[in-house]
Structure 1
Amino acid sequence: MTDAATDLSLVHPLSIAIDGPSGSGKSSVSKAVARSLGLAYLDTGAMYRAATLWVMGRGIALDDQVAVARAVKDMPLVQVLDPVSPGVELDGIDVADAIRSADVTTNVSKVATNLDVRGELRARQRAIIDQERATGGFSAGRGIVAEGRDITTVVAPDADVRILLTASEEARLARRSLEVNGTANKEAVDSMRDQVVRRDRDDSTVTQFTVAADGVVTLDSSDLDFDQTVAAALRIVAKHAPARPVTP
């Protein structure tokens, strides 16, 4: 891990895109990679959760696609890009915990599969990535790690490094169960099955995040622990990121 983190030959600004299904570990791994490399961190899944919370809070029926898209377009969303302490604010209110509620988790796919909502949020995501590639952003032009489900293919297909982080369904269910329930026994894992498998199935109708596109490196973490996965991701970055030209 330290080799990539301290490799000063990496060119900045550096953009890294990480996609993957639910429970693959993409959020925690992406934050760790961003911390190691001194980059900003963008959780695009949090944007869809925030949009869901915003729309539900206004009493809008989630199947009214036009009304939902209109509300999301006007959504006053601010994302804190610090990988040490990322945050989400709606209209100046911290909603980092609220967007992880069971109600939001149950309904987020209804908003995330709205194509007009995706268009709006993808544009916002791209603007954030472009800002962090320039001077004056959170990471002062060093770059960004952006993670989600369509970052490698749609939002930032030109990222310097693109990774599809995946894992077996069994491993993903166990990880999500540990995160939510604090245990990975059979009952707890089964309780996560609908949340994880159904959301992946729903979201796969509007974006591809299970098979790596050309130029995207697959990282299968099924048999890796967290530190091993982060180290593997950093090795991929070190291998595929543009190298700083050697001056004579």
Structure 2
Amino acid sequence: MGAERLRGVVALDGPSGTGKSTVARGLAARLGARYLDTGAMYRAATLAVLRAGEDPAAPSAIPVAVAAVVEVGSDPDVPTVRLDGEDVADEIRGEAVTSAVSAVSAHPTVRVRLVDQQRRTIADALAAGLGIVVEGRDIGTVVAPDAPLKVYLTASDEVRASRRDSEDRRAGRTGDLASTLVAVRRRDSLDSGRAASPLRPADDAVTLDTSELDVDGVLSALLELVAERGLVSGGTAR
């Protein structure tokens, strides 16, 4: 039996701490597909704003974010994030960017600029005969509304905060669980309440609660959904 390959687009949305990035990369690697982390793009644009000394929520942040040259690699095995040619994959995960990214990504002009780039990346993958797994907060509703499979990942606030706290500690970033929980809830409120592309599941999205699932469990569920939608060629997802 041949290797399993993804056909088309899988849109993965949801708030932080649901395991989006890990399972999106895993799914793409498992099915020989491309991978796009749209959140990393907004984080890189946010870093540009912070480096310029601009207030992330102010109109003056818009031209800086729009002018930033953001490049995100689509290889799930070696994901890269570059800002004006510089590798910023680690820096964009720091607390400064995490605290400011919702404000920058709320600017409609910034979203238009990056959504256009995201759609080109998707189109390039499809034109090359490759599937692509795209993760973010508005993929199923805005970036790829025609995706044949849309999944909205959820988990309890406490579980998501615990996961993010563990991730920060592994990366050497300090913090405490209580503060992380506050930050998670704050970002949920900002992302859900913004006027431009608010965080919400698409009407036809499958909601998957990851609170009680490990990475393998979520990946298995996604593989089943991909197979059910007939998005696998050259084998059967399992």
Per-residue Cα deviation, 1:153-209 (whole angstroms, up to 9, x for no partner): 111011121111111112211211111135xxxx93212112211111101113443
Question: Unpaired runs of 5+ in structure 2?
Answer: 234-238
Per-residue Cα deviation, 1:22-55 (whole angstroms, up to 9, x for no partner): 1011011100000000111111110111001011
Checking the alignment, whether the CA contact within 8 Å between 1:40 and 1:144 is kept in structure 2 is yes
Residues 1:91 and 1:159: Cα distance change in structure 2 (over 3 Å): same
Q: What is the distance in 2 between the residues matched to 1:243 and 1:25? A: 22
1:181 is aligned, of 131, 144, 169, to 169
Residues 1:7 and 1:39: Cα distance change in structure 2 (over 3 Å): closer
Q: What is the distance in 2 between the residues matched to 1:94 and 1:142? A: 26
Q: Percent of pairs identical after alignment?
A: 44
State the secondary structure of the residue aligned to 2:54: coil
1:23 is matched by which residue type in structure 2? G
Partner of residue 212, structure 2:
223
Partner of residue 19, structure 1:
13
Checking the alignment, whether the CA contact within 8 Å between 1:173 and 1:196 is kept in structure 2 is yes
Checking the alignment, whether the CA contact within 8 Å between 2:13 and 2:20 is kept in structure 1 is yes
Pairing of 1:113-132 with structure 2 (within 5 A)? 113-132=106-125
Checking the alignment, whether the CA contact within 8 Å between 1:173 and 1:193 is kept in structure 2 is yes
1:36 is matched by which residue type in structure 2? R
Q: What is the distance in 2 between the residues matched to 1:194 and 1:87? A: 29
Residues 1:243 and 1:233: Cα distance change in structure 2 (over 3 Å): closer
Question: Unpaired runs of 5+ in structure 1?
Answer: 136-140
Q: What is the distance in 2 between the residues matched to 1:130 and 1:217? A: 23
2:226 is aligned, of 237, 242, 248, to 237
Q: What is the distance in 1 between the residues matched to 2:19 and 2:136? A: 11
2:24 is aligned, of 6, 21, 30, to 30
Q: What is the distance in 2 between the residues matched to 1:194 and 1:103? A: 15
Checking the alignment, whether the CA contact within 8 Å between 2:4 and 2:232 is kept in structure 1 is no
Partner of residue 199, structure 2:
209
Q: What is the distance in 2 between the residues matched to 1:72 and 1:226? A: 33
Pairing of 1:1-248 with structure 2 (within 5 A)? 6-7=3-4, 12=7, 14-65=8-59, 67-135=60-128, 141-182=129-170, 188-206=176-194, 207-210=197-200, 212-242=201-231
Q: What is the distance in 2 between the residues matched to 1:68 and 1:143? A: 34
2:154 is matched by which residue type in structure 1? T
1:233 is matched by which residue type in structure 2? L
1:214 is matched by which residue type in structure 2? D
Q: What is the distance in 2 between the residues matched to 1:225 and 1:218? A: 16
Residues 1:225 and 1:198: Cα distance change in structure 2 (over 3 Å): same
1:148 is matched by which residue type in structure 2? G
Checking the alignment, whether the CA contact within 8 Å between 1:105 and 1:195 is kept in structure 2 is no
Checking the alignment, whether the CA contact within 8 Å between 2:41 and 2:71 is kept in structure 1 is no
Cα RMSD (Å) of the superposition? Answer: 2.0
State the secondary structure of the residue aligned to 1:219: strand
How far does residue 220 in structure 1 lie from its aligned partner after superposition?
1.0
Q: What is the distance in 1 between the residues matched to 2:17 and 2:140? A: 18
Q: What is the distance in 1 between the residues matched to 2:205 and 2:152? A: 6
1:189 is matched by which residue type in structure 2? L
Q: What is the distance in 2 between the residues matched to 1:169 and 1:226? A: 18
Checking the alignment, whether the CA contact within 8 Å between 2:158 and 2:181 is kept in structure 1 is no
1:29 is matched by which residue type in structure 2? V
TM-score by length of 2: 0.89
Per-residue Cα deviation, 1:95-139 (whole angstroms, up to 9, x for no partner): 10111111111111110111211121111111111111112xxxx
